[in-house]
Amino acid sequence: MTRERIISGKPISPEEDTFTWSLRPKTLKEYIGQNTVVKKLLISLEASGIRGEPQEHLLLHGPPGLGKTTLAYIVSREMGTRLVTTTGPTLSKIADLMGIMTNLDNRDVLFIDEIHRLPTAVEEFIYPAMEDFRVDFIVDKGPFSKVINVPLKRFTLIGATTRVGLLSAPLRDRFGITYHLDFYSHDEMKEIVVRSAGMLDIKIDKEGADIIASSSRGTPRIANRLLRRARDYAIVKADGNITGEVARKAFDLEGIDSLGLDDLDRILLKVIIDYYKGGPVGIEAVAATLSEEVNTLEEMVEPYLLKIGFLIRTKRGRMVSQEAYKHLGIPFTVSGQASLFA
């Protein structure tokens, strides 16, 4: 079953993606959050510029909506070079990648989103390109086949993935730099909300920005989406100003609570509590009960619940914490997981 979740870190539509681009920072100095990553990138980019060489190949990983694509565009802009974008699933044939790579100029940036979904043959084709800036192209078949060595310009490959564990070790090892993007703090989210509101000419007070930040699950893409929903509600139901009360009423209508949990989050927690006595229970059993795909729960639901401590992952399965019981207004009862909370 497919659910459209406005608190999902993934883009909901191409139109939203186009809108979001207008709010994204253009330079590392404008970038809010991920301070350690930004500081390291600033040094790395300055050093590569002084050497006159391309930036090292860069792998960015973390939950969706945290700014991996934005950082790729910023790196390209900081280097003053061209950015070529593609995704792992679209590179189904070697010829697809061959055409892209042979057209890259010196210090250009090739950005591959969802790089963990590259076909094996295409992935192996990338290895010599990343190491030696050349590719081996086989022409014809059988006794008439021959290998043509094609040199490439020195480029930078930036890969982005939400599931770094699915990357093969040979591919992962060929990236000179690997950065993990984590969820943003409440203060960083509030700063992002205020910045976006200013760019969109939206009137918002401190309490309104605070509530949007609290409900955004530490994800800028969600914050910008919720800001738009609150703006629409304010225009129709209020005087156009987003106050704390207006934001709360807008999110209540959407089924989003004060911590950014929606119906699917609450249902998952309640299923573990009601059907499995709070856990432990395997994610496959939970997915079957909810009629959801395991990947959907692992990629879109679990990360945030784990981050805020509402869900605990153990060798025996998933368990719901006492904090989650309290948030849901359910009395905590001693069961098989009691030893973890003693």
Q: Which residues are catalytic?
A: 68-69, 113, 162, 221
Q: Which residue, 192, 255, 200, is CA-closest to 6?
A: 255
Distance between CA 178 and CA 65 in Å, rounded? 18
Distance between CA 69 and CA 29 in Å, rounded? 16
Beta bridge partner(s), residue 136: 149
Q: How far from 205 is each of 141, 202, 242, CA to CA, in Å?
A: 68, 10, 7
Distance between CA 231 and CA 241 in Å, rounded? 8
Contact present, 58 and 68 (Cβ < 8 Å): no
CA 84 remoteness from chain centre: 19
Q: Which residue, 289, 295, 321, is CA-closest to 308?
A: 321
In the chain, the amino acid numbered 210 is D
Distance between CA 247 and CA 233 in Å, rounded? 8
Distance between CA 17 and CA 24 in Å, rounded? 11
Distance between CA 301 and CA 298 in Å, rounded? 6
Handedness of CA 87, 192, 183, 29 (dihedral sign): positive
